[in-house]
Amino acid sequence: MAVMAAPRLDLRALAAPLLIIMILAMMVLPLPTFLLDLLFTFNIALSMIVIMVSMYTLKPLDFAAFPTVLLMTTLLRLSLNVASSRIVLLEGHTGADAAGKVIEAFGHFLVGGNYAVGIVVFIILVIINFVVITKGAGRIAEVSARFTLDAMPGKQMAIDADLNAGLIGEDEARRRRTEIAEEAEFYGSMDGASKFVRGDAVAGILIMLINIIGGLAVGIFQHDLDLATAVNNYTLLTIGDGLVAQIPALIISTAAGIVVTRVGKDEDIGQQMLGQMFNNSKVLYLTGGVLGILGLIPGMPHLAFLILAAILIGTGYTMESRAQAAVAQETVAETVAPSTEIPEVGWDDVAPVDVLGLEVGYRLIPLVDRGQDGELLRRIRGIRKKFAQDMGFLVPAVHIRDNLELRPNAYRIALKGVEIGQGEAFAGQFLAINPGRVLGELSGTPTHDPTFGLPAVWVGAEMREQAQSFGYTVVDASTVVATHLSNIIQSHAAELLGREETQQLVDRIGKESPKLVEDLIPKTLQLGTLQKVLQNLLQEGVHIRDMRTILEVLADNASRTQDAEQLSAMVRTALGRAITQSLFPGNSELQVIALAPQLENILMQATQTPGAEGPGLEPGLADQLLRGVSRAAESQEQMGMPAVLLVPAPMRSLMARFLRRSVSQLHVLSHSEVPDGRMIRVVATVGS
């Protein structure tokens, strides 16, 4: 008989409900003084934990629970005020320890038993908390929430750009989008939570006044105390109660200020302060010199000024000595290699042409240097992996080298030794791309995005957040080069599929379907013909992941024809479902461009002309066709829909070649490639 295990109790899940129950209980139930001392001590310890966590947090989202913690600690302090006020009013006539040892200590030892001093100290703490820290932290949270919300569209576009370029995967993109949303929610919550602290400060003042007035009334009229004794007892108890609550409140408010003022994600607040304030020996020398001069002025406290001046100058000297020693250790003496006889020239001296090459100027070397953890190297690996997953084959490795003939910030992309792309990138800066609608202009180096030609501006790291808030798409230098390279690889995929890559595809599918490959290649179809068919598919953006279907179609038809164009058309028909799915995801209707019947008849006659290499059209009609298709394609793109021209099967190949260079974003489909069951809607007619 199976025995069901008892559910395991998770104590951490009970922490928050128990704390709420405890807070509510303190407001309505009388507490013994020992328990009150314990709870006041717990409140102080909790505030210390919060400020320590905030100081060691690297980014605000690492302490995402802080707004809730702020609310809970505020409620805890107020409930303690209610519980202590009850004891002060009920037992205050008995003496200074009526409300417990903690309140007594704060009322006597911290202010010397002088209630006038206690009132002044309490008011000063409230002013510091209410006017300075809480107000400043609330304002920062409010502005941060506003700028974070304004920057969300730009950040989302940057994520989409990285995803489309293959630099990140779906999981990473989803994680980044979630982080952006959580960041906006965090600052919005902090903006609201700061109001709790402000209200807590006001409540502290009112509770103090109410306790003093109520205590005097209770002591004089109910316990027959004289005025001096009543004032001394109840005022000291009230001041001690207020101080024991306001000091943790001040600590929590300081923690809130630390969290919302954090800038950077690589160091905690202590490392940032020490690294940025005490990292320059010249600053320490000058400060020490000024203090030394002040210490020599008659009437000044010479010892204090001179000691601190000596410490600063000594610290600066030590830092400078360590920096010089580190530089000396990195300097390695150049060794002269022994002269050797020049070897005879051989075939090893003939350098082969790289299929894909990337040349960079000397200022871009850190982006591709393994020793400097070049970010661009990882991005290029991600591009090749994403392309292999999308298109179905692995492009050759990108050979990267520096070229002193290029401008310092320039780069050049070459395909088989021929330049096909070039641009400029500035390491350490960011390219703010104008997607068309921005809220303002940026000061920087105006340029154009090398990939898509959009207007852009190179800006410094300090203007990145401002550019995102204005609606710009902001990317770093390595992303600019990687996106350009990814776009070129996509547009030249057919040229990157060589005989070697085709053989690797055949060998790979041969492990899964050996009989299919054995009967087809090279018995029925030559490897070169297969390569040409695959290149035709890639030329029009059709992936070749489904190699099994491609080879099966070729095996069925290769005995009748060896023409690569005809075989490509047959393969496209078999891949019709995948082609239409890539253009129109899901089961949505196909919104296509069509030809007018009269124009279609003319083009059909041209395709049937023997020996014709293209549509035999007179120039005026050809120009009219290009203009009409261009206008229809542009209209489709403006509506966010793919530009697809639907034509009869016999003229699809010729129309695709005829329109490819003039209308680069146009996809030409034949009627035979549309799967059964997909609805077609003609949104534009050319030639009508």
Lowest mean per-residue pLDDT among 517-521, 556-560, 565-569: 517-521
Residue 266 has pLDDT above 60, yes or no: no
pLDDT of residue 109: 61
* Local structure of residue 221 (DSSP, 8 states): I
Top mean pLDDT of 50-64, 217-231, 300-314, 406-420 is at: 406-420
The model's confidence at residue 413, banded by pLDDT at 50, 70 and 90, is very high
The residue-averaged pLDDT of 601-621 equals 64
pLDDT of residue 375: 81
The residue-averaged pLDDT of 453-463 equals 90
pLDDT of residue 614: 47
Residues 424-435 have pLDDT tens digits of 999 889 999 988
Q: What is the C-alpha to C-alpha distance for residues 559 and 513, in angstroms, rounded to an integer?
A: 20
pLDDT of residue 612: 42
Residue 6 has pLDDT above 60, yes or no: no
Largest Cα separation within the chain, whole Å, is 124
- The tokens describing 358, both together, are 């990337």
Cα separation values, 243 from 39, 121, 232, Å: 15, 8, 16
pLDDT of residue 180: 79
Lowest mean per-residue pLDDT among 3-7, 162-166, 268-272: 3-7
The residue-averaged pLDDT of 280-291 equals 79
Residues 548-560 have pLDDT tens digits of 888 888 888 888 8
The residue-averaged pLDDT of 472-479 equals 90
The residue-averaged pLDDT of 185-213 equals 74
pLDDT of residue 204: 72
Lowest mean per-residue pLDDT among 406-415, 441-450, 619-628: 619-628
Average pLDDT in the chain: 79
Closest by alpha carbon to 683, among 642, 625, 623? 642
The domain spans of the chain are 22-151+159-273, 279-321, 353-494, 497-574, 585-606+617-688
Contact 509, 406 (CB under 8 A): no
pLDDT of residue 611: 46
The hierarchical CATH code for the domain 353-494 is 3.40.30.60
Residue 457 has pLDDT above 80, yes or no: yes
The hierarchical CATH code for the domain 585-606+617-688 is 3.40.50.12790
Placement of tokens 């180096």 in the chain: 445
Lowest mean per-residue pLDDT among 39-53, 96-110, 456-470: 96-110
Task: Catalogue the E-assigned strands of 477-541.
Answer: none
Residue 538 has pLDDT above 80, yes or no: yes
| Percentage of the residues of the chain whose pLDDT score is greater than 90 | 4
Strand 410-415 vs strand 418-424: parallel, antiparallel, or unpaired?
antiparallel
Residues 139-182 have pLDDT tens digits of 777 777 677 777 777 777 777 777 766 677 778 888 888 887 77
Residue 504 has pLDDT above 70, yes or no: yes
Q: What is the C-alpha to C-alpha distance for residues 513 and 517, in angstroms, rounded to an integer?
A: 7
pLDDT of residue 332: 46
Interhelix angle 499-512/547-557, nearest 10 degrees: 90
- Whether 353-494 and 497-574 share one fold: the answer is no
- Continuous segment of H or E residues that includes residue 432: strand 430-433
The model's confidence at residue 532, banded by pLDDT at 50, 70 and 90, is very high
User: Which class would CATH give 497-574?
Assistant: mainly alpha
Residue 85 has pLDDT above 60, yes or no: yes
CA-CA-CA-CA torsion sign (677, 681, 686, 688): positive
pLDDT of residue 263: 58
pLDDT of residue 99: 64
Lowest mean per-residue pLDDT among 201-205, 217-221, 680-684: 201-205
Top mean pLDDT of 97-106, 307-316, 481-490 is at: 481-490
Lowest mean per-residue pLDDT among 118-122, 385-389, 674-678: 118-122
CA-CA-CA-CA torsion sign (456, 458, 464, 467): negative
Strand arrangement of the beta sheet that strand 455-459 belongs to? 445-448, 455-459, 430-433, 473-476
Q: What is the C-alpha to C-alpha distance for residues 459 and 431, in angstroms, rounded to an integer?
A: 6
Top mean pLDDT of 207-221, 282-296, 415-429, 611-625 is at: 415-429
CA-CA-CA-CA torsion sign (528, 531, 533, 539): negative
Cα separation values, 616 from 478, 611, 622, 629, 687, Å: 47, 11, 9, 18, 16
Residue 113 has pLDDT above 70, yes or no: no
Strand arrangement of the beta sheet that strand 644-647 belongs to? 667-670, 644-647, 590-595, 680-686
Residue 41 has pLDDT above 80, yes or no: yes
Lowest mean per-residue pLDDT among 104-108, 548-552, 655-659: 104-108
Whether the link from the prior residue into 522 is cis, omega within 30° of 0, is yes
- Continuous segment of H or E residues that includes residue 686: strand 680-686
Burial class of residue 486 in the structure, from the number of CB atoms within 10 Å of its CB (0-12 exposed, 13-18 middle, 19+ buried): buried
* Local structure of residue 471 (DSSP, 8 states): T
Contact 438, 472 (CB under 8 A): yes
